[in-house]
Structure 1
Amino acid sequence: MARRQDNTATQKRRRAHALGLNAETLAAWYLRLTGWRILKRRYKTKAGEIDLIAKRGKTVAFVEVKARKTRRAALEAVTPASQQRIARAAKIFVSQHAKAGFYTLRFDIVIVCPWALPERIVNAFEARD
């Protein structure tokens, strides 16, 4: 019986992972259509991962993508701990890309809900030290 529960949990994780990847792809296309250039997808560091790093003009946005059934659930999923993780990863990105320091840096969220266009929340949070 325990083996069957493990398979069910594994399947749920795989579905959630696939949903997340699909949401990131949709968010990337949405950003491109609104004039952003995607610099990195799934940027991984020791501090954590940033879903998308996008640039438009003199602005670089570190974008967290959340796929949830409701807007509220998506916003609640971006916890203070995840904000800190993203900010630490962004700091690593900036340290590795000298030119990034000359841009306006911000943290956005793209919410992906069923049967709706993605919603971008500009400057959704600030980095805290």
Structure 2
Amino acid sequence: MSRRKSRAERDGQRAERTAAWYLRAKGWRILQRQVRVGQGRGVGEVDIIARRGRVLAFIEVKWRREAKALDQAIDERRLRRAARVAQALAPQLARPTDDVRIDVILLAPWHWPRHITHVWQP
């Protein structure tokens, strides 16, 4: 693995830990992390699955070295991959009255996490 890829991997894992900490501080319960479902082109991935009350959220976490780059950090392809996980696991994890949604948490050095809710409705 290249040095650059190794560093990006470490930064991403640190961002996911920070996002999980942030969510817990806001009253969320972390159900799963780094979830992957499917095979081939049908693969879906999501960084965190969390619950707070009647909300079940599939959360994509993005880290950038500069805050100004966060606006382009998430795209439709990544959200579609998260939606695949939500569609596969929501029947097992969601209660009948739950709101199921996909959220994004954006992180950059020296900035508070930015939690964007309902970025995609599965």
Using structure 2 for the length normalisation, give the TM-score: 0.88
Gaps of 5+ in 2: none
1:74-113 equivalences in 2 (<5 Å): 74-95=70-91, 97=92, 99-102=93-96, 103-113=98-108
Two-structure CA RMSD over aligned residues (Å) = 1.6
Of 28, 35, 45, 2:27 maps to 35
Name the residue aligned to 1:4. none
What displacement does 1:85 show?
Answer: 1.0
Which residue pairs with 2:116 in the alignment? 121
Shift of 1:126: 2.8
Check 1:121–1:71 CA distance in 2 against 1; reply closer, same or farther (3 A cut): farther
**Deviation for aligned residue 1:71:** 4.1
Question: Secondary structure at the residue paired with 1:122?
Answer: strand
SS in 2 for 1:73: helix
| Shift in Å, 1:73 | 2.3
Q: Which runs of 5+ in 1 are unaligned?
A: 1-6
Q: Secondary structure at 1:24's aligned position in 2?
A: helix
Indicate which of 45, 56, 78 corresponds to 2:52: 56
Deviation of 1:125 after TM superposition, in Å, equals 2.5
SS at match of 1:93: helix
Query: What percent of counterpart residues are identical?
Result: 37
Distance 1:64 1:75, change over 3 A: farther
Distance 2:72 2:95 in 1: 30
Higher helix share: 1
Alpha-carbon distance, 1:72 to partner: 4.6
